[in-house]
Structures are given as C-alpha cells and as structure tokens.
Amino acid sequence: MKFSLFTALALVGSANAHFRLLFPEPRGQFVADNEPQYCGGYTQVTQNRTTFPLSGGFFTIKSGHPDFTAGVIISTLQNPISFDNFTVNGKQQIASAYAKNANAGTFCLPLDLAASGVAGVKDGANVTIQIVYAGGDGNLYQCADLTLSSNFTIPNNVTCHNETAEAHHGGSETSSGASPSPTNGALSPAHAIAGYSAVLLGFVGVAALLV
C-alpha cells in the first residue's frame, strides 16, 4: 500500500514539473496530464486571439525540468487541429529553433516571426504557435492563437526575464537571482546554436536527443 501511494505521488510530482507557456497566453488552462497531446489537449482554436508583433516578439516558458529542449513551430491555418497543420510538404514550419538549457526556471526567448521566413506570416495574419518541449518525460506541447501586427509592441506589463530555479531531481543546482535583461538569460537564443544539429530535428529527433 505504502509503495503504491509513493508511486502515485511521484508520478504527480513529475507531471507537475513539465512546462508552462506563460506568454503569449496558451489556448486553455494548463492540464499537466494532457500536455503530451497536441496543443496540450486543446484541439480547437480559441476565439480571443492574442495580438502579437510581427517582428521583435518574445515568448516565456516556465520549465519544471532542468536539461530541457524547447522550440516553436507555427501554423498559418485559421484553425489548425493537428501536427500536420504545422508542416508544409512534410516539413515542420519552425518559428524559433530548438534551444537547450541546463536549468529549470522561467525563460524568455526572442520570437521574431517575420524572420522565420514562413509563407503567410505577415501583418494581420491569424497564426498559431506551438511550443515543443522535451524535458526528459516525453515531448510536451502548448499552443497560442495569435493575430500578427506590424505596428504592435508587447505591453510593458508583460515582463521578459529569466530566472533559474532549483532543480527538483536532486543535484547541486541552486537558485539564482532574477535577471532583468532578456539578453542575460541562460537559455541560448536560437541563432546562437544555428549550427547545432538540433535545429532541424523533428518531434522524433527531439525525443531521441534525450534518450
């Protein structure tokens, strides 16, 4: 009895680790158990899209796992309902290349959608981004529905900062103070690892990377 209780608690703990998309706002309430599914379990597009800058944007995630990999794929369909909708001719449309980080915590990453070169990414377009994340317990997903604007800047009350957190699976990692500058983060900006083989890895590739 004691053993199964312990096992159950351990499973809950690991599921809670996962990751959350803090900004832009995800499709729905975070449900840890559904995060391995397409868009974290939210298959339908939301009606209240977030206005998002065509250039110079960012996204923020909170990672419960250290040693994670995260990237962003994009769909230009009005109502993307499957992973296929994020590909063209079988190729993923990558909005932000996969980046790795050794720490858990909150990380703000640049998301310059205009620079992605994806067809249909333009002023006024409705798009959906999907964060693809792997932290050691399988691939996890969160989506956000956006309307792009070339003359919009993210409001000041949406902060972009990095803050590493104590790793939960033992080890020697400790907390560090918040860094006010988005450029000071521990998570490498995508372009910094452009030559890295992870950049063009698909879903399977990310999983394989962590085995």
Could you list the residues that contact Cu ion (CB under 5 A)?
A: 17-18, 137
The four Cα atoms 161, 62, 207, 109 give a dihedral, to 10 degrees, of -20
**Residue with token string 């949406």:** 158
Could you tell me the smallest distance in angstroms from the CB atom of residue 14 to Cu ion? 5
Could you tell me the smallest distance in angstroms from the CB atom of residue 71 to Cu ion? 17
Chain-centre distance for alpha carbon 4: 33
**Among residues 57 and 64, whose Cβ is nearest to Cu ion?**
64
Could you tell me the smallest distance in angstroms from the CB atom of residue 101 to Cu ion? 14
**Among residues 137 and 173, whose Cβ is nearest to Cu ion?**
137
3-state secondary structure of 21: strand
**Among residues 21 and 121, whose Cβ is nearest to Cu ion?**
21
DSSP structure class, residue 162:
B
Q: Which residue is nearest to Cu ion (CB)?
A: 18
**Among residues 35 and 145, whose Cβ is nearest to Cu ion?**
35
Pairing mode of beta strands 139-149, 50-53: parallel
Contact 83, 90 (CB under 8 A): no
Could you tell me the smallest distance in angstroms from the CB atom of residue 73 to Cu ion? 20
